[in-house]
Amino acid sequence: MTDNAADGQAITEIQMGAAAAPEPTVVVAATLADAAGLACQGTTQALAEAVADRGVAHVALTGGSGGVALAEALAPLIAAQPEPVRCGIHLWFGDERFVPMGDPERNDMLATPLIAAGVRESQVHRLAAPQDVGGLDEATARMVHELESAGLASGGFDVVHVGLGPDAHVCSLFPGHPAALAVGVPAVAVRRSPKPPSQRCSLTFEVLQRAGRVMVVAGGAGKAEAVRLGLGTPDVLAAPASCCRGRQTTWYLDEPAAASRGVEGG
């Protein structure tokens, strides 16, 4: 099969998966912090229910302004949960930058307040750093192994937090980038990212579309067009966010981000 044929098949598979998912629900709040707070209330409930059902819960965090707002809102809610819930939570990351541990560019820095809230450090699944592996491929392979070992390669995330780029990218799946078309694997190495750092690892749409709950959080007028595209017809090449739909998907927006939809805040 030629690369073009393989790409065409991947595009069809990803877009059909999104089209088959339930339509997203949209929640509009006055500010990004308010929107993140509402998302985190739903997150905490979903994680507590998962721990009650299975003894374990899996959540993938996101980076960017939305990720910071989510981590800040989630920490006190986790801290207020009973110990079995706190100890049952596993933290993952929708994408990660392939830079040294402790680098402020790393998304896993957002786990710090959640660890302080009671999540076990041993249950924070971090991408290996450049100094610890032979390169991005090895780091990605290790992450794939972790996802497979946890039963998450074919679905299983209880909640996935997703930020939204102004170009309608999600995780590190950018418009027109070959990594966005990865199928058959739960995570993909991303090289030559249009947004620095250039080397990253990202969950794939295959995993995102099988998540129990996908929560997209975005704020600011600069995201309004990306919101419009993301809530439109699935188009993985032009607007990857439009293909980020799980078994239940909710977009949590502040009023400026929702402006293109003509929605007023509640």
Return d(Cα 144, Cα 96) in angstroms, integer.
13
Question: Do residues 172 and 203 make contact, with C-beta atoms less than 8 angstroms apart?
Answer: no
pLDDT of residue 156: 86
pLDDT tens for each residue of 58-78: 999 999 889 999 999 999 999
In the block, tokens 């990865």 appear at 182
Q: What is the pLDDT of residue 264?
A: 42
Instruction: Mark the ranges of the chain whose per-residue pLDDT is less than 50.
Output: 1-2, 263-266
Q: What is the pLDDT of residues 142-161, one digit of tens each?
A: 999 999 999 998 778 999 99
85 vs 87: CA distance, rounded Å: 5
Instruction: Specify the pLDDT at position 153.
Output: 84
- The residue among 253, 254, 226 whose CA lies nearest residue 170 is 226
- pLDDT the model gives residue 33: 96
Contact (CB, 8 A) for 44 and 81 = yes
**What is the pLDDT at residue 155?**
73
d(CA 73, CA 240): 26
Q: Distance between CA 177 and CA 180 in Å, rounded?
A: 6
